[in-house]
Chains A and B, each alone.
Chain A
Amino acid sequence: MDELKKTPLYEAHIALNGRMVDFGGWALPVQYSSIIDEHMAVRKAAGLFDVSHMGEVFVLGSDAFEYIQKLVTNDITTMTPGRCRYAVMCYDNGGAVDDVLIYKFADDRYMLVVNAANTAKDIDWMQAHTFGDVKIVNESPLWAQLALQGPRFADILNAAGYEGEIPAKNYTFTENNIVAGVKCLVSRTGYTGEDGVELYCAAEDGLKLHAAIMAAGKDFGLLPCGLGARDTLRFEASMPLYGHELSAELNPVECGLDFAIKFKKDFIGKEPLMQPKTRMRIGLKLVGKGIAREHCDVLMNGEKVGFTTSGGPAPALGGNYAMATVPADAPADARWAIEVRGRAIECERVELPFYKRA
């Protein structure tokens, strides 16, 4: 595993007995203790994730606003400094290049947080579409990023020593906070379906911040969490994962991301996305015994009509679920099943998200 890229927190994972795996070229822990225990810690107390592999791409210049507005599906007109906004970057045919989280510092300074495995591809795409006064700067190697997620997150931040303002509203951020002596940008964001924050600090301060939060979280039930729980949590909360629910082949309309697509403005891929959609993302709960993973055939009234994009147990809800891509005109009273190893497992269609925090 020596040839893999290491995040600034690599040593902490080893010290905490993380089970290291190759995740798109990065050495990251899939779990420390148990995926289910880590998942439940986030739902009931808190969990700490290393998400330093995510890409931080800055867009600078006097045309940064116009440029991003053209680049992504969501409308950034109403963004003021200190806000975050989810959006999708599309190809000309509407397929997704990536889904991104946009941070606005000023009209001429934004940060896009992109999926680790897509960073190089995204930057190529972004570079190829620049105009006017726009500069793309990849700062990914300079940053450590930690996600502290779960209902006790604020208690833990305060116990760690927090100087500054914890962002009060979802999808906002504050800068120049001092957390356990480390300067951090803190955003009220996450990928777990739970309340929490993501903290960005200088790469060289990452270990110090991680250790301080772990120590502060001891009395609050904090667990270090790996990629396994990150995936089960986002799955249970029915958040799309690039390469699964959303991809070059599955566009954001088919993924059901209408809240992040604004047809009142112009953006790359807009025309194809305005066509009536032929496929949609649905949720299925397995009624019969078994677990469906991704890429299983989905049967509607006994006929193969689609495929699963993610599937597995939902630890906090109990039971096994799947997200699937099926024809957009599927009738409400259709009978559903998923084929697993040649056996059709009966399912019930359920609302997305599977899990919604109270």
Chain B
Amino acid sequence: MIPNDRKYTRDHEWVKIEGSIAKLGITAHAAEALGDIVFVELPAVDKDVAIGDGYCVVESVKAVSNVYSSVSGKVVEVNEALDANPEKLNEDAYGQFIAAVEFTEVADNLMDAEAYEAFLAEQE
């Protein structure tokens, strides 16, 4: 199930807005496509990010993948649990954020859950 409490990018990332904070993560489809995730290179807290920036690198056994930000702002928190247990992204991609950003701007080309589901179906 694709949660309808957040928005999605064509690169299979999600962003969930909670007041002034945007939580960023990757979708279950992205995690599945990567395979066994073995390392998440988390951004530094206080790092400034802009829309479209690669702010994090997720590595599976065979693949290295950039994760892009769909907001501009400052990283205020990272999900430290992914440091020790990167496989949590495979187990529960929608339950694990990567970074929380105090945002100034949100990308204007995001999809809602329904549109993302249709986008995935198109990709098949």
A interface residue numbers (CB < 8 A to B): 30-31, 34-36, 228, 231-232, 289-291, 293, 312-313, 315, 320, 341
Q: Is B35 in contact with A31, judged by CB distance below 8 angstroms?
A: yes
Interface of chain B residues 29 through 61 with chain A (CB within 8 A):
35-36, 38-39, 41, 57, 59-61
Q: Is B39 in contact with A290, judged by CB distance below 8 angstroms?
A: yes
B interface residue numbers (CB < 8 A to A): 35-36, 38-39, 41, 57, 59-62, 64, 83
- Indicate which residue in B36, B57, B64 contacts A35 across the interface (CB closer than 8 Å): B36
Q: Which of chain A's residues have a CB closer than 8 A to the CB of B62? A: 30, 35, 228, 231, 312
Q: Is B39 in contact with A228, judged by CB distance below 8 angstroms?
A: no
In angstroms, Cα B39 to Cα A293, docked, is: 13
Query: Looking at chain B's contact residues, is the secondary structure mostly helix, strand, loop, or mixed?
Result: strand
Known interface pairs A36-B61, A231-B62. Does A291 touch B35 (Cβ–Cβ under 8 Å)? no
Known interface pairs A35-B36, A36-B36. Does A228 touch B61 (Cβ–Cβ under 8 Å)? yes
19 interchain pairs (CB within 8 A)?
Answer: A30-B62, A34-B35, A35-B60, A35-B61, A36-B36, A36-B61, A228-B35, A231-B62, A232-B61, A289-B39, A289-B83, A290-B39, A290-B41, A291-B39, A291-B59, A312-B62, A315-B61, A320-B39, A341-B41
Q: Which of chain B's residues have a CB closer than 8 A to the CB of A320? A: 39
Known interface pairs A31-B35, A35-B36, A313-B38. Does A293 touch B61 (Cβ–Cβ under 8 Å)? no
Q: Is B41 in contact with A312, judged by CB distance below 8 angstroms?
A: no
A165 to chain B, nearest CB (A): 37
Q: Which of chain A's residues have a CB closer than 8 A to the CB of B39? A: 289-291, 320
Q: Which of chain A's residues have a CB closer than 8 A to the CB of B35? A: 31, 34-35, 228
Q: Which of chain B's residues have a CB closer than 8 A to the CB of A36? A: 36, 61
Q: Which of chain B's residues have a CB closer than 8 A to the CB of A30? A: 62
Q: Which of chain B's residues have a CB closer than 8 A to the CB of A31? A: 35
| CB-nearest residue of chain B to A37 | B36
| Additional 5 contacts, C-beta under 8 A, given A31-B35, A36-B36, A341-B41 | A35-B62, A36-B61, A289-B83, A290-B39, A320-B39
A225 to chain B, nearest CB (A): 13
B74 to chain A, nearest CB (A): 21
Q: Which of chain A's residues have a CB closer than 8 A to the CB of B57? A: 341
| CB-nearest residue of chain B to A228 | B62
In angstroms, Cα B41 to Cα A291, docked, is: 10
CB-based closest 8 A-B pairs: A35-B61, A36-B36, A313-B38, A291-B39, A228-B62, A34-B36, A291-B59, A35-B36
Q: Which of chain A's residues have a CB closer than 8 A to the CB of B38? A: 291, 313
In angstroms, Cα B60 to Cα A274, docked, is: 41
Most buried by A among B36, B59, B60, B83: B36
Q: Which of chain B's residues have a CB closer than 8 A to the CB of A341? A: 41, 57
Q: Which of chain A's residues have a CB closer than 8 A to the CB of B61? A: 35-36, 228, 232, 312-313, 315
B11 to chain A, nearest CB (A): 19
